[in-house]
């Protein structure tokens, strides 16, 4: 089946497969019933998380086949900057304000549900007669936020889907609104955009990847590639990072930037991560059984695990099943994982550190809050973002990098430079006390079998 036929089939299933809608609804009901009730609502705002939001909306759609429904999704541009410049308490106040605005519409409008998707992303589902009702809601919320007495301008964007279908799938109209939001977010000429049919092709391509990704996980087309980490002073391999690759049966190797963001948006990234983690633990067990000393192979922890109640249980089960010490599988988190829900992820990471896991901050220096995060959290390892190395050609860049390395040397953390690609970068790092690195100058990511031969 070619991609065009599959796209059409996928679109039809969105709109007309009652059995599929019922199956997904029953699945969500069952999943929601198996978790603590508090997990169905955001701790900060009290609004339903997406799982519960979908259930509530589906109930309304089923009971009102004669109504038209729309979804409004909102997102704050550079919310990390809001937290950085105004403080997290003010950032939380902004989120509470948005939640209050949405709750007001829930109280005023019949057949309306508000939800807190994640971080600064909110969603509103409502019945409507005219599309202008939906844009008026978005405008009203923006005006409320603009009226807040803040020293930093908070720019909020809205994506809207006004469905004309009878009993549409909530996931479909929400995805349409989300696509419109991605189109408009950060643009200066407008802050509100309706989903149009011209956007459908791009969305269906994403959904096609999403549907194939589930099959890829089940059929082990998802595999770990390892990029070795070296001690630049001796060229000795000291570890590696497990990176996710998709070996498609007909398309070959699919780059991670084509599917990772889709996996995150759909929630499949949790299953992808679990699979990669298991393969790394399995490999480390084989190394130990062969009588060799393993080197640490770090695994990535997606920001979506902030909302994953099973992460600690899964990791500790892998430690027990494969009898591999946690120190041989360090956990890498990006700054965005911490800013999604700071308190929750900090508690989880502290618990995992107490169990012996090493915690690494990935992409250090790429965001607004890296220094502040380093000051307030215990980290075992810092991975310097490759973007910092691209500025070594100018004097200011060298001064900043040299000062950063000097600072990190006093914090008792292991430091690894990512993206080292030239001998000049290597010489600069070594002369400034940073000897650990990974990058194309030394090795590209490779299959596990090649990495095993290498070490």
Q: From first to last of the 455 residues of the chain, give the pLDDT tens digit.
A: 455 444 444 444 444 455 554 555 454 445 444 445 567 889 899 999 988 999 999 999 999 999 999 999 999 987 877 887 888 899 999 999 999 999 999 999 999 999 999 889 999 999 999 999 999 999 999 999 999 998 888 889 999 999 988 889 998 899 899 889 988 876 666 789 999 877 877 777 777 888 888 889 889 999 999 999 999 999 999 999 999 999 999 889 988 888 988 888 778 899 999 999 999 999 999 999 999 999 999 999 987 787 778 899 999 999 999 999 999 999 998 766 655 556 677 788 888 999 999 999 887 876 555 566 666 667 889 998 888 888 788 888 889 889 989 988 888 889 999 999 999 999 999 999 999 999 999 999 999 999 999 98
Q: Using an 8 Å Cβ cutoff, are 398 and 114 in contact?
A: no
| Residue extent(s) of CATH 3.20.20.450 domains in the chain | 216-454
Residue 1 burial (C-beta neighbours within 10 Å; 0-12, 13-18, 19+)? exposed
Q: How many CB atoms lie within 10 A of CB 327?
A: 12
Written out in words, the top-level CATH class of the domain with range 216-454 is alpha beta
| Residue extent(s) of CATH 3.30.70.270 domains in the chain | 3-195
Q: Using an 8 Å Cβ cutoff, are 442 and 228 in contact?
A: yes
Whole-number Cα distances in Å, 35 to 28, 39, 44, 273, 352: 11, 6, 18, 21, 21
Candidates 156, 169, 160, 157; CA nearest to 195 is 160
Decide if domain 3-195 falls under CATH 3.40.50.300.
no
């Amino acid at each position: 089946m070619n991609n065009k036929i599959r796209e059409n089939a996928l679109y039809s299933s969105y709109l007309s497969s009652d059995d599929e809608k019922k199956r997904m609804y029953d699945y969500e009901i069952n999943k929601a019933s198996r978790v603590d009730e508090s997990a169905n609502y955001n701790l900060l705002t009290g609004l339903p998380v997406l799982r519960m939001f979908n259930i509530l909306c589906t109930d309304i759609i089923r009971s009102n086949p004669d109504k038209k429904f729309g979804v409004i999704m909102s997102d704050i541009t550079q919310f990390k900057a809001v937290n950085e410049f105004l403080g997290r308490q003010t950032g939380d106040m902004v989120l509470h304000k948005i939640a209050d605005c949405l709750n007001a519409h829930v109280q005023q409008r019949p057949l309306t549900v508000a939800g807190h998707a994640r971080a600064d992303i909110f969603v509103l589902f409502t019945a409507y007669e005219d599309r202008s009702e939906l844009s008026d809601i978005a405008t009203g919320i923006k005006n409320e936020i603009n009226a807040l007495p803040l020293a930093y301008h908070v720019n909020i964007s809205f994506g809207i889907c006004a469905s004309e279908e009878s009993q549409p799938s909530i996931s479909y109209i929400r995805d349409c609104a989300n696509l419109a939001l991605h189109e408009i977010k950060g643009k200066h000429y407008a802050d509100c955009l309706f989903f149009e049919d011209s956007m459908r092709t791009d969305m269906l391509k994403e959904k096609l990847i999403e549907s194939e990704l589930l099959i890829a996980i089940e059929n082990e087309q998802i595999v770990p590639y390892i990029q070795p980490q070296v001690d630049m002073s001796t060229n000795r391999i000291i570890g590696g990072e497990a990176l996710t690759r998709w070996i498609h049966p007909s398309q070959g190797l699919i780059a991670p930037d084509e599917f990772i963001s889709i996996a995150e948006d759909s929630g499949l990234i949790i299953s992808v991560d679990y699979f990669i983690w298991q393969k790394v633990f399995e490999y480390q067990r084989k190394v130990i059984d062969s009588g060799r000393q393993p080197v640490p192979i770090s695994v990535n922890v997606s920001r979506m695990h902030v909302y994953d109640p099973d992460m600690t249980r899964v990791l500790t089960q892998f430690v027990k099943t494969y009898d591999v010490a946690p120190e041989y599988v360090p956990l890498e988190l990006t700054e965005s994982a911490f800013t999604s829900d700071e308190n929750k992820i900090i508690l989880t990471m502290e618990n995992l550190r107490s169990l012996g896991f090493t915690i690494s901050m990935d992409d250090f220096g790429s965001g607004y809050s890296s220094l502040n995060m380093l000051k307030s959290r215990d980290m075992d390892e810092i991975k310097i973002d490759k973007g910092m190395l691209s500025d070594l050609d100018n004097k200011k860049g060298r001064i900043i990098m040299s000062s950063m390395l000097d600072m990190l040397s006093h914090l008792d953390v292991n430091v690894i430079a990512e993206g080292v690609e030239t001998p000049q970068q290597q010489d600069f790092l070594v002369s400034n006390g940073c000897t650990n690195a990974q990058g194309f100058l030394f090795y590209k990511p490779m299959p596990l079998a090649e990495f095993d031969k290498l070490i």
